[in-house]
Amino acid sequence: MASCEAMREGKVARTAGSGSAVVERGAIRCEATVVDLGPKMPNATGICFLNHMIDQLVSHGQLGIGVQLSIGGVPCEPEVDYALQGAAARAATPEALAHARPHDQTIFELVGEALGAALRGAAADALSHAPATLGASRFCAPLDEAVTEAVVDLRAASHFAFSLEPYGTIPPAGREWIGLYRTAYTRLLWQRLHGALGGRMELLKLRGANAHHIVEATFKAFARALRAHLDAARPPHGTPPSAAPREGARSRRTKETSISVALALDPPGGDGAAREDACVVTVRTGVSLLDRILAELATYAQMRLAVSCDGDVHIDDHHTAEDVAIAVGQSLADALGTKAGCNRMGSADACEGRARVEVVVDLSNRPHFESDLELREEWADGMACEMVLHVFASLTTNALCTVHVVQRAAGDGDGACAELAIATARAYGLALRQCAVIDPRRAGLTASSKGTLSA
Ligand SMILES: O=P(O)(O)OC[C@@H](O)[C@@H](O)c1cnc[nH]1
């Protein structure tokens, strides 16, 4: 801390669970306050998309953050760009924008430094309670097609890794601007933030084609990795208030299949209940691998699940696998309801045999599924291997989730496909459990920077 630029050029203060910092350079002054688990505060950096990114730290990291930038003693306003506004801004060419925006670089630097120093102050209290075994926290956050991995360890030696470029695929070299936010300064902001916060920080794009998504997923991933780190340092206590049981059920009858699904998200007796009592899973679809996939997923998600299907497997396994996945996905969406108070995002990995798969889940209400599983066989345990992807995709989109499946290791030869399918089901279940858990600290509010997942 003592060596960071924010300390040399500004002031850093902290009280339990909170920190604030002021940094100044020339006519530009930035003041940041962070209160761990604190209330929402206004943010005015002079760059509106940057304010929106700070909102991601607030809603996904459960941090009260206020950033106020002033230029020549005049405070910026929360929804106003410091240089250009409205139609003039949209009409301007990149060259004109660069010319007309003399303070962009300084703003990114100062916001990064002030935020990093204030975060350091806010984290100090939790870190002072940390067990000696506290290690790095990692989180993979999706935003539609994009996924960013963040690793945070505030007690580790200084280490910074950053790989987000290019910012999108259209144009092929990536976007230069998101609104009036210059994407190239994203690295600078995080470098400065890390310089003031210290420790180990890694921000790596795993997937992404849309610049807005890539940058926003990064702020979400960092926020959630930091939250996980602070919670590991000082575990939250208290139990969620008892709420109505979250259940969903669907019956579906067509010429091809007759299906009934009943699903309950919360084990009777709450999360602490013994797993063997809490989880009752029966899946009978007539397709063996499908039964195993759903049973593993439900067990790892700590859900109760009953599925029965009488399907036209004499034609093919396709109708049964697809329709069952749709019905389970719809039941899951019913059970999750508005998602208010939920943790919302989860990422987990799991193994089966030689296969290791990571699954990232967001209860986003924006259905999206991506997978890089390398499924090379035609059949696995009574189901066509192409149906493995179709089952997970149908489940995901009908549950209104965003899901990314990332293959970490695979065997080859006989059985590789079934191993990948089961590893995926387990990781999906683990990640789904993280998403579905009610965090009492959210007090029933939705974990979203736009305030709702229902609209
Ligand atoms: O994921 P959240 O609900 O916190 O907010 C996302 C929000 O910014 C949304 O409008 C968005 C969708 N695509 C990019 N951004």
For residue 311, report the distance from its CA to the centre of ligand 1, in Å.
39
- What separation in Å is there between the alpha carbon of 449 and the centre of ligand 1? 7
Say whether both 214 and 113 belong to one domain. yes
Measuring CA to CA, which residue among 290, 243, 283 is closest to residue 263? 283
Local confidence band at 9 (pLDDT 50, 70, 90 cut-offs): very low
Between 161 and 244, residue with greater pLDDT: 161
| pLDDT at residue 274, as a whole number | 47
Q: Residue 304 above 60 pLDDT?
A: yes
What total of structural domains would you count in the chain?
2
Q: Checking DSSP bridges between strand 257-264 and strand 247-253, what pairing results, if any?
A: antiparallel
> Are the CB atoms for 403 and 396 separated by under 8 Å?
yes
**pLDDT at res. 412:** 82
**Which of 271, 267, 299, 272 is closest to 283 using CA atoms?**
299
Judge whether 200 lies within some domain: yes
Nearest CA to ligand 1 atom 14: 213
Q: Which of 181, 210, 233 is the last residue of a domain?
A: 233
pLDDT band at 4 (very low <50, low <70, confident <90, very high): very low
Same domain? For 251 and 339 the reply is yes
In a domain, 187, yes or no: yes
Q: How much of the chain exceeds pLDDT 70, in percent?
A: 90
Relative to the CA of 59, which ligand 1 atom is closest?
4
**Residue 201 within any structural domain of the chain:** yes
Residues 365 and 418 in one domain: yes
Ligand 1: residue of 224, 343, 448, 452 to mutate (most ligand atoms within 8 A of CB) is 448
How many angstroms separate the alpha carbon of residue 32 from the centre of ligand 1?
Answer: 23
Confidence at residue 394, expressed as pLDDT on a 0 to 100 scale: 98
The answer to whether 34 touches 19, Cβ cutoff 8 Å, is: yes
Supply the pTM of this predicted model.
0.93
For ligand 1, atom 13, name the residue with the nearest CA.
213
Could you tell me the pLDDT band of residue 454, with boundaries at 50, 70 and 90? confident
Segment 229-236 mean pLDDT: 95
Would the CA dihedral through 321, 322, 325, 326 be positive or negative?
A: negative
* Rounded distance between C-alpha atoms, residue 455 and residue 451, angstroms: 10
- Which residue from 363, 449, 452 has its CB within 8 A of the most atoms of ligand 1, so it is best to mutate? 449
Q: How far, in Å, from the CA of 224 to the mean position of ligand 1?
A: 15
- How do residues 323-347 score in pLDDT, each as one tens digit? 999 999 999 999 999 999 999 999 9
The whole domain housing 98 covers: 4-233
Query: Is the residue at 454 inside a domain?
Result: no
Task: Output the CA 98–ligand 1 centroid distance in Å.
Answer: 27
Q: Ligand 1 site: residues with CB under 6 angstroms?
A: 59, 143, 212-213, 216, 448-450
Taking residues 194-201, what's their average pLDDT?
98
| 269 Cα to the center of ligand 1, angstroms | 34
Ligand 1 centroid–CA 364 distance in Å is 9
Residues 6 or more apart whose Cβ sits within 8 Å of residue 445: 340, 341
Give the list of residues 6+ apart from residue 223 with CB closer than 8 angstroms, or none.
56, 57, 58, 59, 60, 61, 63, 141
Strands (E) across 229-378 are located at 247-253, 257-264, 281-284, 304-311, 345-352, 355-362, 368-371
Does the model's ipTM exceed the 0.90 cut? yes
Pocket mutation for ligand 1, best pick of 215, 450, 454 (most atoms within 8 Å of C-beta):
450
Read off the pLDDT band of 6 (50, 70, 90): very low
Q: Is residue 345 part of a domain?
A: yes
Question: Distance from the CA of 186 to the center of ligand 1, in angstroms?
Answer: 18
Answer yes or no: is 136 within a domain: yes
Say which residue, 418 or 450, is predicted with more confidence. Answer: 418
Q: How far apart are CA 30 and CA 187, in angstroms?
A: 19
User: What ligand 1 atom has the least distance to the C-alpha of 212?
Assistant: 14
pLDDT score of 85 more than 90: no
Which residue among 233, 256, 284 closes a domain? Answer: 233
CB 166 within 8 A of CB 75: no
Q: What are the pLDDT digits (tens) for 54-68?
A: 999 999 999 999 999
Q: Is the pLDDT of residue 14 over 90?
A: no
Residue nearest to atom 5 of ligand 1 (CA): 449
- Atom index in ligand 1 nearest the CA of residue 447 equals 4
Ligand 1, atom 1, residue with closest C-alpha: 448
Looking at every residue in the chain, the average pLDDT score rounds to 92
For the chain, the distance separating the N- and C-terminal CA atoms, rounded to the nearest angstrom, is 43
Question: 254 and 225, same structural domain?
Answer: no
As a whole number, mean pLDDT of residues 111-123 equals: 98
Is 453 inside any structural domain?
Answer: no
Residue 278 and residue 267 in contact, taking contact as beta carbons nearer than 8 Å? yes
For the cut 50, the answer to whether the pLDDT of residue 171 exceeds it is: yes
3-state secondary structure of 358: strand
Q: From the CA of 56, give the closest atom in ligand 1.
A: 4
Structure-derived torsion over alpha carbons of residues 325, 326, 328, 334, reported in degrees to the nearest 10: 160
In the reported structure, the alpha carbon of residue 111 is separated from the centroid of ligand 1 by a whole-number distance in angstroms of 22
295 within a domain of the structure (yes/no): yes
